[in-house]
Amino acid sequence: MATGLAGKVGLVTGGTTGIGRETAVCFAKEGMKVVVAGRREREGEETVELIRAAGGEGLFVKADVSKAGDVETLVQNTVEKFDRLDVAFNNAGTEGAWVPILKQSEEDFDRTIEINLKGVWLSLKYEIQQMVTQGTGGAIVNMASVAGLVGSAGAAAYSASKHGVIGLTKAAALETAKRGIRVNAVCPGAIETAMSERLFGVPHVHRYVLSCHPIGRFGTAGEVAQAVVWMCSEQSSFMTGQSLVLDGGFLAGQNSPS
């Protein structure tokens, strides 16, 4: 079934690695032109090369999504290069320090919220502004997490930021629905990425987190990327303000007896 994405212009923040990179390549395979944003230039250019190898056109823009000027320039550069913006995946994020609230520094809390929550808000602001100006609608997916749907001891800032992303997603969807812009969120469980390796790389931690996923494995970046492509496609045209969970059964087991 056709996705209707061929010829459209997409923007992926946090596209230098992991889920962002996989999504950028999947967009290219659908015939899209793709702008990749991130703070690491070398990795960003590597993603652009992968986009070109997949048959697409790509552009890397160095940007810190927690800074309004960077995000505004990012959208401007997208339009200058490809004339428009049709699709966006607001994926940039950080895990921050996973420590109890009593041990978390104010600096770490602020930085986690700035990137994961404020960064999505800024991205939405300038992406929606451009889509409204164009007047042809659009689709936006925000990166949330299963940690945005349940509490997570020892990860208060991260969990709060992801809960906030889901709230932002719902509000943005309501504000833009009549303009033909759809806004949704994706909520992965543990995915095989560099972030998961940093968080769950210690063997006993890995075993515990794996045991929380009844399907018996972590997800892959490609699986999340394919879901994002679907959420941006015409196949999901009646979906907005929703959070799509990809968690190997993690949430289904949250109320199971220990």
- Catalytic: 158? yes
Exactly one of 158, 169, 181, 231 is catalytic; which is it? 158
| Residue 91, both tokens | 């994926």
Place of tokens 């020892």: 154
Q: Which of 26, 161, 37, 27 is nearest to 91 (CA)?
A: 37
- Number of neighbouring beta carbons within 10 Å of residue 204: 8
Size of the chain, expressed as the number of residues it contains: 258
Per the CB < 8 A criterion, the answer to whether 180 and 151 are in contact is no
The angle that helices 106-113 and 156-176 make with each other, rounded to 10 degrees, is 30
Residue 188 φ/ψ, nearest 5 degrees: -80, 155
> Whose structure tokens read 């929703």?
242
Instruction: Show which residues are catalytic.
Output: 158
